[in-house]
Amino acid sequence: ISVFTDVKVVKKLPEADVILLRLDSENWTKKQLERLPDGIRDSATKYILIEFKATESINKNTFIQASWYEYAYKRSQKISDDEIQTFVMCAKQPQKVNREQYGYTIRVQPGIYQSTIIAYNHITLISLNELPNKLHNAWITCLASKKLKRLKSFQLLKSQGFKQIPKPFKGFLVELWRLISTKGDDDMTLELSPTEIRAIGDMWGVQYYSQEELDNLFNERLRALKPEDRLMGLKAEDRLMGLKAEDRLRGLSSEEIEAILKQRK
């Protein structure tokens, strides 16, 4: 028998998907509540740890991993159980049988579940597809697996939410809509080309939109939707829609413009 002490269980500590550190105030501010989904906005703890499952269904390892994140974070920050709350957020709606085998039978409110099993009762389960269609939920339910849920969420963001956020993030949401609007139910895989990744980065950094430009861009995306498949990809000419004539021709020489006019005759 070999006995080892001070064994390193893992070579590298895992990183939690999201950690929200609450501000040093007794309650969430009004602006924070406008952007926080049900469950999280109801928490009174200082630290909130979120494990987000975009493409996976919940399983035993989901809760083991979330528990490990919480335990490791409490140890590293030297905080008590009462100072932190952990959430598992699922883009896919958990099946009732699967959810209940882990004790998640207590429905606190639509889409929010607590477990009766002591090993999991400190972890709140959030099902994005079951959250009410409200603006404060739409910031995250736009990532839900159900296509109709995503569509309703983006409609809420466009009509009510865009005025609350800075311009670069508006552009990011429009690009996110373009990328996931083609996805069917339970398909949240995103295969981005290097060009698309750079485009998203540009939107965060240097590309800005006025509200009118943003509305036009978003409406163009919607107009391109087909009944059988939504936004299977924008055509080259569609990318020019909304631009002024001089903007479309900017960068072209007079010879190139004349050649284009001859082709259209």
131-152: pLDDT as tens digits: 999 999 999 998 898 988 988 9
Asked if pLDDT for residue 169 goes beyond 70, the answer is yes
Helices 167-180 + 194-205 axis angle, to 10: 160
Both 242 and 184 in a single domain? yes
Mean pLDDT estimate for the chain: 77
Which of 111, 131, 151 is the C-terminal boundary of a domain? Answer: 131
DSSP 224: T
Nearest alpha carbon to residue 73 among 15, 153, 143, 160:
15
* 127: exposed, middle or buried (Cβ count in 10 Å: 0-12, 13-18, 19+): buried
* Interval 92-102 mean pLDDT: 95
Q: What local confidence, expressed as pLDDT, does residue 141 receive?
A: 93
Note down the domain range covering 207.
135-265
Q: What local confidence, expressed as pLDDT, does residue 125 receive?
A: 98
Q: Which residues of 190-223 are buried (b: 16+ CB within 10 A; e: fewer)?
A: eeeeeeeeebbeebeeeeebeeeebeebbebbee
Q: Which of 111-125, 136-150, 251-265 has the lowest mean pLDDT?
A: 251-265
Beta partners for 212? none
Beta partners for 126? 89, 112
Q: What local confidence, expressed as pLDDT, does residue 31 receive?
A: 86
Q: What local confidence, expressed as pLDDT, does residue 252 receive?
A: 64
Q: Evaluate if pTM is beyond 0.75.
A: no
Dist CA 198 CA 97 (whole Å): 42
Q: What local confidence, expressed as pLDDT, does residue 205 receive?
A: 41
Both 52 and 94 in a single domain? yes
Both 80 and 160 in a single domain? no
Beta partners for 113? 107, 125
4-53: pLDDT as tens digits: 656 565 666 666 566 666 666 778 888 888 989 999 999 989 888 888 88
Which of 131, 159, 188 is the C-terminal boundary of a domain? Answer: 131
Both 193 and 265 in a single domain? yes
Q: What local confidence, expressed as pLDDT, does residue 163 receive?
A: 82
Range among 51-60, 116-125, 215-224 rated most confident: 116-125
* Interval 228-242 mean pLDDT: 49
Both 50 and 156 in a single domain? no
Both 140 and 125 in a single domain? no
Q: What local confidence, expressed as pLDDT, does residue 244 receive?
A: 62
Give the confidence band of 101 by pLDDT, cuts at 50, 70, 90. very high
The total of structural domains in the chain comes to 2
Asked if pLDDT for residue 221 goes beyond 70, the answer is no
Both 27 and 84 in a single domain? yes
Both 29 and 101 in a single domain? yes
Q: Report the SS3 class of residue 3.
A: coil
